[in-house]
Amino acid sequence: MYDVIIIGGGPAGLTAATYLRRAEKTALVLEKNAFGGQITWSPRVENFPGFVSVSGTELGDKLLEQAMEQGAEVELDEAEAIEAIDGAFRVRCVSGESFDGRSVILATGARPRLLGVENEEALVGSGVSFCAVCDGAFYKGRRVAVCGGGNSALQDAVLLSDSCEHVTLIHRRDSFRGEVKLVETLREKENVDFMLNASVTALLGEDELRAVRVEQDGAEKEIAVDGLFVAVGHEPDHSAFASWLELDKAGYAASGENCLTKTPGLFVAGDCRSKGVRQLTTAVADGAVAALAACRWIDGQ
C-alpha cells in the first residue's frame, strides 16, 4: 500500500512526487506515455522561473530525476480505473497490474484537441501531426500548415519555419492568444504566411495529405501542403476517472484551492484541473499543493 498513487508523470505529477517524498510519504507515479508530459513537445521553454531557456525534454528529464532522487517509484503503465477498497483506493492498469494507495492524485494533464474535420484521425502519421517537435523533421524542405493561434501553434510555426520550405499559419480569428513576441518573430520570416479569420474545412488526399481546404471570409481555397500541424488547444485527459469527479462546463475537474476533488482522498493537479491559467508554473504549483494536502489527509486518517 502506497501513501499516494499519482496518475500522470508530467510536471504536476512529478512535482507532487518530490513533495511527498520530502514529507516521507511513499509515492508511485504511473505514466502511460512519456515522463515529462506535454512539456516534452515544447522545443524551448523560456518562461519557467530559474531557467533562461531549456528544452521541454530536458526539463521533463530533470523533473523525473529529481522525483526519483527523492525516492519516488515510477512505472510506465496506463491507469484505466480507480476502485474504492476499505478506506483506500485501488488503481487498475491496462497491463493487468493494480496498485493500492491511501490517497490518489490525478495529474493526467490534457490531450490535443482535434479540428473535427473528416479523415483527421485517419491521416495522423500521414500528413497530420499534433507535435512539431516530434514530427517536424519529416517535413524538412517541404510545405506545411499550422492551425491554431495559441503559444503551441506559434511555437510550432517558428520551429517549422527553420527547416520547412514554407509555413502557412491558419487561425480562426485576426488576433492571437499566444505571445506577441512569437507573432513578431513569425512576421519577420519570409517563408511564413498568415491566413487569419480562416478555418480548415477539409483535408485532401487519400493515403497521404496533399492539401487543406480553408474557408476565409466566405471563400474556400485549397492550400497544397505535405503536412498539417494541428495546435488548437487541449482537452482534459481524465475520462476514465470522471465518475469520481465533479466536472466544470469544459470538462475539467473541479477542486478547492487545496486541489481536493469531491471524493475525499482524491486530489487533482495540473492541466486536468479546472482553473484560469494552464501553464508549467501553475502545474508544478498544483503538484505541491495537492501533495501537501494529501499528506494532511493521510495524517488525519
The residues, any chain, with a CB within 8 Å of residue 166's CB and separated by 6 or more, are 143, 144, 191, 192, 193
Q: Which stretch binds ligand NAP (CB under 6 A): 126-134, 152-160, 184-192, 243-251?
A: 152-160
Q: Which stretch binds ligand NAP (CB under 6 A): 29-37, 183-191, 208-216, 225-233?
A: 225-233
Window 49-78: contact mask with ligand NAP (x via CB under 6 A): ------------------------------
Look up residue 194 and give its amino acid: F
242 three-state secondary structure: helix
Of 102, 234, 273, 275, which one interacts with ligand NAP (CB under 6 A)? 234
Asked whether position 213 contacts ligand NAP by CB under 6 A, the answer is no
Asked whether position 150 contacts ligand NAP by CB under 6 A, the answer is yes
Round to whole Å and give the CA distance between 70 and 21. Answer: 6
Of 16, 74, 133, 231, which one interacts with ligand NAP (CB under 6 A)? 231
Residue whose entry in the numeric block shows the C-alpha cell 501553434:
153
Of 173, 181, 221, 296, which one interacts with ligand NAP (CB under 6 A)? 173
Window 4-33: contact mask with ligand NAP (x via CB under 6 A): ------------------------------
Asked whether position 40 contacts ligand NAP by CB under 6 A, the answer is no
Look up residue 131 and give its amino acid: C
Q: Which residue is nearest to ligand NAP (CB)?
A: 150
Give Dmax (Cα) for the chain. 63
Cβ proximity to ligand NAP: between 101 and 178 the closer is 178
DSSP 34: -
- What b/e sequence results for 10-24 when a residue is b if at least 16 CB atoms lie within 10 Å of its CB, and e otherwise? bbbbbbbbbbbbebe
- Report the interhelical angle of 11-22 vs 56-69 (nearest 10°): 20
Distances (CA, A) of 266 to 69, 84, 165: 25, 11, 49
Asked whether position 47 contacts ligand NAP by CB under 6 A, the answer is yes
Total residues at the site for ligand NAP (CB under 6 A)?
23
Which residue in the list 3, 135, 156, 226 is annotated as catalytic? Answer: 135
Q: Which stretch binds ligand NAP (CB under 6 A): 23-31, 72-80, 138-146, 275-283?
A: 275-283
**Is 131 designated active site?**
yes
Burial of 98 (0-12, 13-18, 19+ CB in 10 A): middle
Of 136, 149, 265, 270, which one interacts with ligand NAP (CB under 6 A)? 149
Are 220 and 195 in contact by the 8 Å Cβ rule? The answer is no
Are 212 and 225 in contact by the 8 Å Cβ rule? The answer is yes
Of 22, 177, 210, 213, which one interacts with ligand NAP (CB under 6 A)? 177
Of 45, 72, 82, 259, which one interacts with ligand NAP (CB under 6 A)? 45
Asked whether position 273 contacts ligand NAP by CB under 6 A, the answer is no
Of 59, 64, 35, nearest in space to 48 by CA: 59
**Is 93 designated active site?**
no
Round to whole Å and give the CA distance between 273 and 54. Answer: 25
Distances (CA, A) of 135 to 19, 132, 229: 34, 5, 9
The three three-digit cell numbers of residue 87, written as one number: 478506506
Smallest distance, ligand NAP to C-beta of residue 77, A: 26
- Give catalytic residue positions: 131, 134-135
Contact residues for ligand NAP (CB under 6 A)? Answer: 42, 45, 47, 113, 115, 147-153, 155, 172-173, 177, 231-234, 278-280
